[in-house]
C-alpha cells in the first residue's frame, strides 16, 4: 500500500469518489449514511459481511470508477497480430505496433450504459451488477481477476475495498458535506467547505 502505484492511484481515486458523491447531493448522502449505519449496527461493527450488504456503497464506488477512471490512458505494444472490434467496426493491429487506449470511450459507451455521462448512484444495484464487466478502470473488466497473463491492476480488489471503507468511515461520522473542486491533469482537487456531523450513529 505504500508503493508508488497505490499512492498515485488512491491520491486520484479518493478525490474522484468524493467529487461525484458530492455533486450527487444531500439526498444521496442521507441514503449512504442510512445504509452504512444500519449495516454496521446489525453486524456489530465494520465487517466484510456488513460491507457486502452495502449495495449502494458498492454501486457508487463502481459508478465513480466508471464515469471517471483514475488512469484513463493505456499504452502497450501488440505482442501478436490481432483484431480489435467495436460495435460496428474492426481494426487490424500488427505485432509490434503501439496501441493507445482511452477508457472513457468504453466506460461511457451509450450502447452499454443508459445516460452514460450522468452519475447514476444505483447503476450497479440488482440486475445492474451485470454491467460490471464493462467497468474497466483497472485495465480490464471488473469481473475478472489480475494474473501474470494480463495487464490488469494487481491491487484492484484492494482499491475497491479501500474506497468502500473510506465511505463507511466518512458517513459513519457525517450526514452530508459541501465542497468545491478544481480539475487538474492529476485529477480533481477537493476542498471541503462544510461538514454536518452525524445526527445518529
Give the tens place of pLDDT for each residue, 113-126.
999 999 999 999 99
Work out the mean pLDDT of the chain and round it to a whole number: 91
Q: Give the annotated binding-site residues.
A: 153
Model confidence pLDDT, tens digit, residues 57-95: 999 999 999 999 988 888 889 999 999 998 999 999 999
Q: Which helix (H) or strand (E) holds 149?
A: none
Helix, strand counts (H, E) of the chain: 6, 6
Give how far the C-alpha of residue 50 lies from the chain's centroid of Cα atoms, to the nearest Å.
19
Model confidence pLDDT, tens digit, residues 132-166: 999 998 888 999 998 888 878 888 888 899 999 99
For helices 4-24 and 156-173, angle between their N-to-C axes, nearest 10 degrees: 40
167: pLDDT strictly greater than 70: yes
Q: Give the annotated binding-site residues for heme.
A: 153
pTM: 0.91
Residue in the block written with cell 458517513: 171
What is the torsional sign of CA 25, 189, 3, 62? positive
User: What does the alpha-carbon distance between residue 76 and residue 101 come to, in Å, rounded to a whole number?
Assistant: 9
Query: Domains, the chain, ranges and CATH?
Result: 4-71+103-197 (1.10.630.10), 72-102 (no CATH)
**154, 158, 163, 167 alpha-carbon torsion, rounded to 10°:** 170
Amino acid at each position: 500500500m505504500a508503493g508508488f502505484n497505490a499512492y498515485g492511484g488512491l491520491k486520484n481515486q479518493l478525490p474522484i469518489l468524493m467529487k461525484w458523491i458530492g455533486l450527487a447531493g444531500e439526498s444521496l448522502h442521507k441514503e449512504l449514511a442510512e445504509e452504512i449505519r444500519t449495516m454496521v449496527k446489525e453486524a456489530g461493527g465494520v465487517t466484510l459481511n456488513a460491507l457486502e450488504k452495502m449495495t449502494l456503497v458498492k454501486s457508487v464506488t463502481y459508478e465513480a470508477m466508471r464515469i471517471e477512471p483514475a488512469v484513463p490512458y493505456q499504452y502497450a505494444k501488440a505482442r501478436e497480430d490481432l483484431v480489435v472490434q467495436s460495435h460496428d467496426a474492426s481494426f487490424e493491429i500488427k505485432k509490434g505496433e503501439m496501441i493507445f487506449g482511452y477508457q472513457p470511450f468504453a466506460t461511457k459507451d451509450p450502447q452499454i450504459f443508459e445516460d452514460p455521462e450522468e452519475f447514476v448512484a444505483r447503476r450497479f444495484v440488482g440486475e445492474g451488477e451485470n454491467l460490471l464487466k464493462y467497468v474497466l478502470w483497472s485495465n480490464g473488466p471488473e469481473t475478472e481477476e489480475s494474473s501474470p497473463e494480463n495487464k490488469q491492476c494487481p491491487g484492484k480488489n484492494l482499491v475497491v475495498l479501500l474506497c468502500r471503507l473510506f465511505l463507511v468511515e466518512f458517513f459513519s461520522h457525517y450526514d452530508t458535506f459541501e465542497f468545491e473542486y478544481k480539475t487538474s491533469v492529476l485529477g480533481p482537487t477537493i476542498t471541503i467547505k462544510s461538514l454536518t456531523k452525524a445526527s445518529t450513529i
